[in-house]
Amino acid sequence: MLAEVMASITFLAIGLGGLVPLLVGSIRGVDQARRTTAAATLAVDELETIRNTAYAAVASGTDSVTQADSGTQYTRTWTVAAGPATGTKAVTIDVQWTSHGSHTVTVQTIVAQ
């Protein structure tokens, strides 16, 4: 009976040990999703700021934002170019961060007079 219990515990340990990489991958995936969501939110925040700026004052720029809970530093860069029609400007906002590699979220819009 002792041998059967030991064999069962061994099989259980092997099975649970196989779940560890799955757990680690899931945690990294959730962390990456959280950072991507934060970057998208920062891009949309800057987009709203640009939309609320007078048309003549809309210009390219850059800034850095550090997320309070994780300490992740995001770099926002917005580029303003001539739009597809007269009286419009094309705005591209890139939010970049480094965590397990370099990542970028991009948002584009057109601002009219």
Task: Return the DSSP state at 55.
Answer: G
Mean pLDDT of 46-52: 95
* CATH number of the domain to which 16 belongs: 3.30.1300
Boundaries of domain holding 86: 2-112
Residue 15 has pLDDT above 90, yes or no: no
Rounded to two decimals, the pTM is 0.80
Order of all β-strands in the sheet with 88-98: 61-66, 73-82, 88-98, 102-112
Residue 19 has pLDDT above 90, yes or no: no
Number of domains in the chain: 1
